Chains A and B, each alone.
Chain A
Amino acid sequence: MSTSPPRIAGAIAASAAVHISRDAAPLAPSSTDAAPATRRISLALEDVSKVYPNGRRALADVDLVVPDGDFVFLVGPSGAGKSTLIKLLIRDELATSGTVFVAGRDVSRLSRRDVPRLRRRIGIVFQDYKLLPHKSVRENVAFALEVTGTPGRQILPAVERVLALVGLTAQADQLPSQLSGGEQQRTAIARALVHEPRVIIADEPTGNLDPLISWEIIQLLLRINELGTTVLMATHNAEVVTALRRRVVALEDGRVVRDEVGGYHREY
């Protein structure tokens, strides 16, 4: 069920350009944009606002469509709403108004039971890695499969595969404290990948890393993207954003202020 996009997502697919200007009505089915209609939508936000219980408006009227296979930078100053947007995508928070689609499903309509299934289709990477300190690299990655009830004989091959992909086979038995920051982040990426998600969402993945190591992480995410996984990366790293000339979505005060390829990332 979840693999076939609902009608509205189909409409989005038909209308969505790879990048959408702020003022366009990207979800209007009548749109005549010459869009790659064959691409499915990984992530979509339709007129989404989020107001926290304390009254703070974190997002306002956000429209965003990310087709499968895209690599999108999400930029903006602290407090612009990047983290809130990511929380909405992983259904850690629900939108106050508007609709959030992930992998073709309206996340607000998911039952309690379906939320974990949705999260298995999204790999999440954080600035602070969120590794378990008493588990080895291999165990940290395997943990994601164990706690989702994956049969035991499938776990090890899957873990070894993603460890090879991120280049950590040699460090598999080490604890996070024995690793460099870059290696820890690669472990986290391996864990995010082990469910073979459709989308990787990375929240400031290079925030704690020096420039050289940051580049390694970016390269890794690009490779994962080339293998077909959609990547949404929130970042402050202007150098990287500018150099890569990928799609850049800029948030300011909870609104999308720019959405263009290779958009210059202002220094915030």
Chain B
Amino acid sequence: MLRFLLFSFRRAWQGFWRNLVMSLAATVTMTLMLLMLAGLVIGLSGMDAGLRFVEQKVEVQAFIADGAPQAQVDALVAQVRALPEVSQVVYLDKQQALAQWQQQLREQGKPDYSSETGTNPIPASIQVKLKDPHVYGSVIQTLQSAHGVVTDVLQTQQVVDALLTVTGFLRTAGLVILGLVGITVLFIVINTIRLAVVARGEEIEIMRLVGASDAFIRWPFIFEGILVGLLGAAITLGILGLAAQPIGQAVATLVGQVPIQFDQDLAQQLVLVVGGAGIALGGVGAFISVRTYLIR
């Protein structure tokens, strides 16, 4: 078994170099495809993180009219809290709301001019967290029906829904493009390995005649395909490794308050996805090629 593996690896290696131009073409295409794949994974995980962040935020927010009687406000809070869909209700009075806003400004590094006005422009609000962010029940109606107390009801869910539509579209479009590129890569690998098979036609014939088993004839080519995939994956991960720092910074400046992190998890996921896709495409392409041109 070990001999078989060594033999196959050695011949795969020789085959790769013997047919260098085609091997490199396959590797470069593979790399491009894997880069797209990595981009998709990063983008989607970023969007997912953004979505989770938005969903975590207050889901329904009702702004309280200035000067509404505190008793009515308290009653409304109690009424909403009693609803079965609600997990948590927080009442922020004008001072707390202002303080929170000022803190957000500080976190984003923006200048705070609120002290200039002398008055507090921020309304008090009731912030409602739902048990399931997609099930409102009668929360909205309850809040809206409190005329004179509530000026406006803001549903974060609408934002989330819009985001979901966008991410869903991007995901589908990305997967379609990726699929097309994947098929292209597959054909290039098939062709590369086919050339390798043709180049070794004489050897293959001799191997058959002296009684080499199918595995000995076939696996070197499959390993050659896997080699292309591995090399493509390695180059892709290398590029990503070099680019991780600048990309991270770019994303941080683009979407400042969404805490997207390029952490260990994402890196691991990328290594698995990119490596797996490379090996699978290379191996499957070579397998198909060998099946089509070698078996008789």
Q: Which residues of A contact B (CB under 8 A)?
A: 90, 112-113, 116-121, 124, 130, 132, 143-144, 146-149, 151-152, 191-192, 195
Asked if B53 lies at the interface with its beta carbon under 8 angstroms from chain A, I say: no
A120 with B206, Cβ < 8 A, contacts A148-B216, A149-B216 known? no
- A144 B210 Cβ-Cβ under 8 A: yes
- A147 B7 Cβ-Cβ under 8 A: yes
Asked if B147 lies at the interface with its beta carbon under 8 angstroms from chain A, I say: no
Asked if B107 lies at the interface with its beta carbon under 8 angstroms from chain A, I say: no
With the chains together, A148 CA to B213 CA distance in Å? 7
With the chains together, A112 CA to B210 CA distance in Å? 15
A130 with B205, Cβ < 8 A, contacts A146-B7, A149-B216, A152-B3 known? yes
Task: Give the nearest-CB partner of A135 in chain B.
Answer: B203
Task: Give the nearest-CB partner of A125 in chain B.
Answer: B209
Asked if B118 lies at the interface with its beta carbon under 8 angstroms from chain A, I say: no
Asked if B212 lies at the interface with its beta carbon under 8 angstroms from chain A, I say: yes
- Give the number of chain B interface residues (Cβ < 8 Å): 17
A-B contact pairs, 20 of them (CB 8 A): A112-B214, A116-B211, A116-B212, A119-B208, A119-B210, A124-B209, A124-B210, A130-B205, A132-B202, A132-B203, A143-B210, A144-B206, A147-B7, A147-B212, A147-B216, A148-B216, A149-B4, A151-B3, A152-B3, A191-B210
- A117 B3 Cβ-Cβ under 8 A: no
- B210 A147 Cβ-Cβ under 8 A: yes
Q: How far is the CB of B14 from chain A (nearest CB, A)?
A: 10
Listed residue (B203, B205, B212, B214) with the most chain A CB atoms within 10 angstroms of its CB = B212
Which residues of chain A are near B209, meaning CB under 8 Å?
Answer: 90, 119, 124, 130
Which residues of chain A are near B203, meaning CB under 8 Å?
Answer: 132
With the chains together, A65 CA to B3 CA distance in Å? 39
Which residues of chain B are near A152, meaning CB under 8 Å?
Answer: 3
With the chains together, A124 CA to B208 CA distance in Å? 11
Q: How far is the CB of B224 from chain A (nearest CB, A)?
A: 16
Which residues of chain B are near A144, meaning CB under 8 Å?
Answer: 206, 210-211
- 7 residue pairs, one from A and one from B, having the closest CB atoms: A120-B211, A119-B211, A147-B212, A144-B210, A116-B211, A116-B213, A147-B207
